[in-house]
Amino acid sequence: DGFMIFPMVLRPKSKGRIYLRNSNPLSSPMIDPQYFTDEEDLDVLVQGVKYSKLLLETSPFKKLGTRLYKAPIPGCSHIEYDTDEYWKCQARHLTFTIYHQSGTCKMGSANDPTAVVDT
């Protein structure tokens, strides 16, 4: 028996990109999520892990005999377990998207480098 807790970044600062493969509207786009290009997103996940671990120490979870499963993470074995750097490494190796990808295109003036359409 087991359960999982998934800390999430609900308002990521990192920004991904979507590229069109060609001019065919039926072709799937190429999606590069560019996870963790902003370090603050990793910090949020580390805080989520720490909070999740605190939940395991509460009496309802203790009554169930819960414990943290220390699964080996390829690529993170050289980092001391349970440090911020370890959890950041784990996030870099195990993060995935669980929602439908979506995006917006900002409209703005011609001199705004983040705008895609002139006003």
Neighbours of 112 (CB within 10 A): 12
CA distance 29 to 27: 6
Q: Annotated catalytic residue: which of 59, 100, 102, 113?
A: 100
Rounded Cα distance between 42 and 48, Å, is 10
Q: Mark whether 78 is an active-site residue.
A: no
Helices 84-94 and 39-56 sit at what angle, rounded to 10 degrees?
110
CA max distance for the chain: 61
Q: Which residues are catalytic?
A: 100
